Structure 1
Amino acid sequence: MDLPAARPELTVLLATPRGFCAGVDRAIQIVERAIEKYGAPVYVRHEIVHNRHVVDRLKAMGAVFVEELEECPADRPVVFSAHGVPKSVPAEAKARQMLYLDATCPLVSKVHVEAQRHYDAGREIVLIGHAGHPEVVGTMGQLPDGVVSLIETVDDVATFAPKDPMNVAFVTQTTLSVDDTTEIVEALKARFPGISAPHKEDICYATTNRQEAVKAIAGESDVLLVLGSANSSNSVRLAEVGRRSGAAAYLIDDASKLDFAWLEGARVVGVTAGASAPEVLVQGLIDRLAEVFSVEVQEVEAARETVSFKLPRVLAS
């Protein structure tokens, strides 16, 4: 009788930190607590975070996801997503006497405050970010139309024409590539030496830490697998960082999307998860790999996170 062939060995380098950040964790808890407190349905304007698995689980609990406030009945609670909303949205909710809960990440709110401060000081404002992303829409919507100029690339810097080049400020989306943003900021500072910068880096600690963790494993990995949804900015950035660091990187929703052809000849695979991807997806991917390979998991810690954010007072009790 033939003995079964031994499974090939595979080392999995597990990036740490990975997965949920404090802002995502808080936003999900706000929806869960709201359903507990007020009963279903609880409406959520836009996906609470950009992850299909999270959204589907909350739908099953009684959350109803909509794109605009006008789709929500006035007599049910509504939650604003972690990405933030234009000022017009809570103003409309107040006008309709709705009960609303703001799950905007506090680090996004910090950018909103900065933009308002620059506007109040009379500066022209540049927002470094991706057009159409809900966080960008929310940040630009803190101020009157036309006040904030969006810059997506270094090339955009060359065509930006402020009224007063000596009176410019910039803020950034929180989920950008650290390296790409550094290039854009350097180009802005070269053109406008007196440009006002954020007091503290706008790209959030979790985005930065997860990108650094990818850099710590990608150079040692034949293939990098990033768990996250395609509309998740920070997850897309992780795959980009992995490719720049020399790994063949793939962004997948979950283990079912893994193509074993990607791993042909691979001895070392890096695994990480975007800030909106739950840890259960990571374990599911490792279990899937273990069906084919003899897997040894090595955790690689690039940073330790201790940040947590308080829930709104109405839900804290």
Structure 2
Amino acid sequence: MGLEVGDDRVPVNADKPHLWKPDIAQSVDFYNHWFMQFAPQAYRDTRIATTKQVESALMWTENLTNITPAILQQYPSVLPILRMATAPPIARDRLIGLAGVSSNLVKNMEEKQRIPPRIDRETLDNELRKIGKIIARLADKDIFSWLNTERQPTDTEVNRAAIIVADRLCGTISDPIIRNAQERRQLATIRQWLEQRGYSYIGGGTRLSFERMQPGTFSFRLNIPILLQGGTKQINIPIDIVIQPIQSSPSQLPLLIEAKSAGDYTNPNKRRKEEAVKMAQLRNNYGNNVRFILFLCGYFDSGYLGYEAAEGIDWVWEHRIEDLVLFGI
């Protein structure tokens, strides 16, 4: 039987290194154009939302004059904000060390916005009191100038302080802000391209199984269950884009796509093994008919592309999205 377009054994871009350099240049230009046009707005939107969160934290703590265990227990999500309200701003691990408190408590408060369910009341009060004392001692009195005088701040002073702390918070998460905005744009681009060609989107909340997807459908951020080597532990592998071609046969698995964007060459090369591991796990569970490709935008150099090609992973450039047709879509 001959190979057909859409067969994963027919490389689309992985076997054409003579095209890699011009594609890399076009992809970098594409990313930089997007960044200059849209990234500042994404950052500003996040900054506005973060400023409101800081203002709420100031209201709950009576403008940093009442950082009590009761307040921290009621509003555990304030902790990252309070860390950025100090001089100098302190990292999470630095707070744990300075206060001498449990890392589990701090991580639960920051990552899950909760108090650990099994911590006893006395321990909790002691640990939260230690955190409050460190924050109060290190509070940035250049920003929160009313702490020196014990007077009530004006609304203008509170707003100004909130903006400064929000800027500090956004500075620590600027890369995720841009990455999340870019991912949303990549998924929206693929969705528009597919729907223009008659495909129907299926939401991830429908308990969808990728093995039972109907022809002409697609979904985003779908979890695919696999058994790890040894077959004793099951985990879910999240896949950004799952597409069942319109012309697919009943036994054909959907095309699995990982959306990747990068604003520099360093990080992709540090993490280039992740895709190969993911594909190996999928094929170990579902056979060699699994088709797994990348959707690339930004800084992916020849070293990255060569590594993925050697691992049998192909890709589509966002600036040439029509290459999806060559994968049977």
**Please, what TM-score do these two structures have when normalized by structure 2?**
0.30
Give 1 or 2 for the bigger CA radius of gyration.
Answer: 2
**Please, what TM-score do these two structures have when normalized by structure 1?**
0.31
Bigger relative contact order, structure 1 or 2 (CA pairs below 8 A, ≥6 apart): 1
